[in-house]
Amino acid sequence: MNNPQGLVKTLDFQLDIQSDNEGLLYDATLEARRVYNETIRFAKDGVDWNSISPRLEDDADLVKNTTQRIVAKALGAMENYYEYDDFGKPSHTKDGTYPLRANYEEGYNLSLTDDGDVAFRISAAPYKHVKGVLEGSDAHLDLLKTALTGDEWKVSTSETLWRDGEPELHVNIRNTKQTVRDKQDSRTVVGVDVNEDNVALTALSTDGVEDTLVIDFPEIKFERHRYFTMRKRVQNAGKDSMHDTLEGREERFVRDRLHKVSRHIVEWSQQFERSCIVFEDLKEMRDSIDYGTRMNRRLHHLPFRALQFYTSYKASFEGIPTGWINPEYTSQRCPMCGHTERANRNKKRFKCKDCEHQDHSDRGASVNIAVKGIEKHQDWNVPALNSLPQVRKVRRQASGAVDAPTATHSSVRDDRDPSRGMASRTVGVSD
């Protein structure tokens, strides 16, 4: 079936500004930050959300379309709860510059020049434009030119931002003709359990568990904590100018790792017949988290939704549909007998108090997610689970990757044909 919203791809470009008003563009990104932070303040003060954009449109030194999109972005962020940080600053407020978000032909324009370049015009403020040509990879420039001249791709929204002191334009192009298979027309459901330091996958078909995989990414948690400590020290030392730089480096590091992991998930899912990827719907998770200040900060900053989003849109480009299920009891339910007991997990070890089945806790959760995905999105019955493959792990060491089994977590022996690729494993995501 056709994806009603189409598929979106983001193209990154550097700006070769052919005028003396680069400062105007920088000032506009500071004004965008003010609009974003004002939106957050209004929302926290209980102002009617529908009235915020009209109030700021008249006050902001930005074109109305840009103001509207920044307000919408801020209110979207407010849909999730974020606690106040250690410095008493309201959650979600920004430091430094903030991207100018704009609709095509309203806040910015693109055109082909006689020399074959792509010229831009960005409305930095009412009746004030910044002009020049785009620079970037040949692949991105070619795809943008196709969108400007063809029928398959269309130019959509954009963001103008500063990265490492240089201006960039990130252009979204949309393909409304790309097709994604209907979820109900699937023969394999891949359950994805996203955790603090790994993601667990299980492929479940009418024949049972086809394969399982656990992808470790402990460096994301480590780097987030390291940058948090650095920012806190910088702020305590009164060097606020470094705060935005550190935050940008952290975001780029995490985004790079998430793209690698999401690409691995999609590539792994492609090996199965007519696969459908299923996630837990974690939108309300932040509201229910209250484990103390330190643990709350860790969990609130985990990139659950980002990894799900990256995986979903990468899957759509391969024609693979994605679905969402209620996360209730996916971590406590025994995948073998269905017994639910809140106290049967101990770190990465799961033991059922009813049937005494033992398993890798995250793999077990991914099995339960796949089961729920079948129950919600498919018209075929959940297969009987008589056995699960042994969990294996690839540990990165100085001498290279070593493939070795984890501690035995299964009391049910796997009697299925080993030639079917039933061995489960954990792999590290390399650079």
Residues 357 and 335: their CA atoms lie apart, in Å, by 9
- Give CA 123 to chain center in angstroms: 29
* pLDDT given for residue 307 in this prediction: 86
* pLDDT given for residue 355 in this prediction: 86
* pLDDT given for residue 401 in this prediction: 42
pLDDT tens profile 251-293: 777 778 888 889 999 999 999 999 999 999 876 554 555 545 5
Strands across the sheet containing 198-205: 322-325, 275-280, 188-194, 198-205, 208-216, 425-428
Residues 30 and 125: their CA atoms lie apart, in Å, by 12
**393 against 148, higher pLDDT:** 148
Confidence band of 172 (pLDDT split at 50, 70, 90): very high
Average of pLDDT values for 227-250?
Answer: 68
Average of pLDDT values for 306-331?
Answer: 87
**423 against 108, higher pLDDT:** 108
Confidence band of 227 (pLDDT split at 50, 70, 90): low
CATH architecture of 183-428: 2-Layer Sandwich (3.30)
Lowest mean pLDDT of 67-76, 306-315, 403-412, name the range: 403-412
In order of 30, 231, 389, 404, the CA distances from 238 in angstroms are: 21, 11, 54, 48
At which residue do the structure tokens 């995948």 appear?
335
Lowest mean pLDDT of 48-52, 125-129, 224-228, 297-301, name the range: 297-301
* pLDDT given for residue 247 in this prediction: 64
CA-CA-CA-CA torsion sign (178, 181, 183, 186): negative
Structural contact between residues 369 and 191, judged by C-beta atoms closer than 8 angstroms: yes
* pLDDT given for residue 376 in this prediction: 92
* pLDDT given for residue 240 in this prediction: 62
Lowest mean pLDDT of 65-69, 134-138, 187-191, name the range: 134-138
**228 against 357, higher pLDDT:** 357
Residues spanned by CATH 3.30.420.10 within the chain?
Answer: 183-428
Cα torsion through 32, 34, 40, 44, rounded to 10? -160
Residues 214 and 8: their CA atoms lie apart, in Å, by 28
Confidence band of 305 (pLDDT split at 50, 70, 90): confident
CB-count burial class (<10 Å; 0-12, 13-18, 19+) for 237? exposed
